């Protein structure tokens, strides 16, 4: 079986799991599923752990791969708990998923860290530091107090590049592909997407994320094909 770990409101992830079901057993797994069904997480023999997926018991050792699309567990994710408990329960579920996704014996894209469930960093500044440490130029950013969470590039045009298990997803451009390989090697991630801003014919990193963009057809197809390889290898 292949799991797609996702938010309870992530319909695109649920549809991805259904697409994968076209050639192998697959299911979306949310915090609600973990809360309302039985599971037995074991350490150190994590492969003997059992979780309930779509009403059936699945041993961790039977999983062929996990597509991890949940960067964090927020209190709103746990709407089925009383309001006063949601913040506490969110931290508990975050800790549970951090351990489980890190310890599973099957491939996981991406494995969690102490910074994020889907990889090493979630903030723009951290990715800028990584990029600069490996010689990748970073963009000048203009911050607007009215849209602090969505800074805009000072100038230039934007292009998005994705990386999955050593391969560039979609159209490949030599310079940005080279930069992506440097960044991904520095942080050891299976998946990363980055936006580069172009100025005077040269790209610079504008943003990066370990959360796959399922609205991008090339990325979605790449994840489906990766799942197919996992299924065939099993």
Task: Read off the pLDDT of residues 210-220 as tens digits, 9 standing for 90 and up.
Answer: 999 999 999 99
| Distance, CA of 19 to CA of 140 (rounded, Å) | 40
Torsion over CA of 161, 163, 166 and 172, rounded to 10 degrees? -20
- Percent of the chain residues topping a pLDDT of 90: 78
Mean pLDDT of 43-68: 94
Task: Read off the pLDDT of residues 30-47 as tens digits, 9 standing for 90 and up.
Answer: 999 999 988 899 988 999
pLDDT score at 156: 74
pLDDT score at 114: 87
Domains of the chain, CATH where assigned: 2-117+217-228 (3.40.50), 124-209 (3.30.470.20)
Do residues 36 and 59 make contact, with C-beta atoms less than 8 angstroms apart?
no
pLDDT at 9 over 90: yes
For residue 99, with 0-12 CB atoms within 10 Å meaning exposed, 13-18 middle and 19 or more buried, which class applies?
Answer: middle
Task: Read off the pLDDT of residues 154-197 as tens digits, 9 standing for 90 and up.
Answer: 567 888 899 999 899 976 778 999 999 999 999 989 999 999 99
């Amino acid at each position: 079986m292949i799991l797609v770990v996702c938010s309870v409101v992530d319909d695109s992830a649920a549809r991805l799991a259904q697409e994968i079901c076209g050639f192998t057993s697959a299911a979306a797994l949310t915090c609600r599923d973990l809360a309302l069904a039985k599971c037995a997480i074991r350490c150190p023999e994590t492969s003997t752990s059992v979780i309930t997926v779509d009403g059936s018991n699945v041993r961790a050792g039977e999983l062929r791969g996990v597509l991890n699309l949940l960067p964090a567990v927020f209190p709103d994710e746990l709407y089925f708990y009383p309001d006063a408990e949601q913040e506490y329960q969110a931290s508990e579920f975050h800790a549970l998923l951090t351990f489980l996704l890190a310890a599973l014996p099957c491939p996981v894209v991406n494995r969690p860290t102490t910074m994020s469930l889907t990889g090493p960093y979630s903030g723009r500044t951290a990715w800028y530091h990584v990029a600069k440490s490996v010689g990748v130029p970073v963009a000048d950013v203009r911050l607007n107090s009215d849209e602090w969470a969505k800074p805009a590039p000072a100038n230039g045009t934007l292009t998005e590049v994705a990386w999955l298990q050593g391969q560039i997803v979609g159209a490949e451009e030599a310079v940005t592909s080279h930069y992506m390989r440097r960044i991904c090697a520095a942080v050891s991630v299976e998946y990363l997407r980055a936006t580069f801003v172009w100025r005077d014919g040269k790209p610079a990193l504008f943003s990066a994320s370990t959360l796959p963009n399922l609205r991008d057809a090339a990325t979605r197809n790449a994840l489906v094909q990766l799942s197919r390889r996992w299924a065939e290898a099993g």
